[in-house]
Amino acid sequence: DTEVTQTPKHLVMGMTNKKSLKCEQHMGHRAMYWYKQKAKKPPELMFVYSYEKLSINESVPSRFSPECPNSSLLNLHLHALQPEDSALYLCASSPSTGSTEAFFGQGTRLTVV
């Protein structure tokens, strides 16, 4: 199984809502990532987890809250988002943070209204 599964595929939320994005991998990878991608732009790194511990937070606003409950799961909790946070949110995993090959999910298309 070389798949990273993200749910939901699409999400529309209001600015006062709380929602969560979920990501799962069963490749035994110990590094997991969240990226944000706006249309026609490259993915921008948000968070890196290594062995279930937060390794990097790229100065992401606190309305985005990551969580890694176990080695297979990665969540991104969303609260009080702004319309400009609308984007494709991509989850990825790799064997370790030293790897150059990251396996990406299909992403969650988020629209904030």
Task: Name the residues that contact other proteins, by CB under 8 A.
Answer: 4, 31, 33, 40-45, 48, 50, 55-56, 90, 92, 97, 100-107
CB 54 → other proteins: shortest distance, Å? 11
Q: Please say which residue, 18 or 41, places its beta carbon nearer to other proteins.
A: 41
Q: Please say which residue, 15 or 58, places its beta carbon nearer to other proteins.
A: 58
Give the pairing of strands 73-79 and 108-112: unpaired
Q: Please identify which residue in the block is written with the tokens 């790229």.
A: 58
CB 1 → other proteins: shortest distance, Å? 16
CB 57 → other proteins: shortest distance, Å? 11
Cα Rg for the chain, rounded, in angstroms? 13
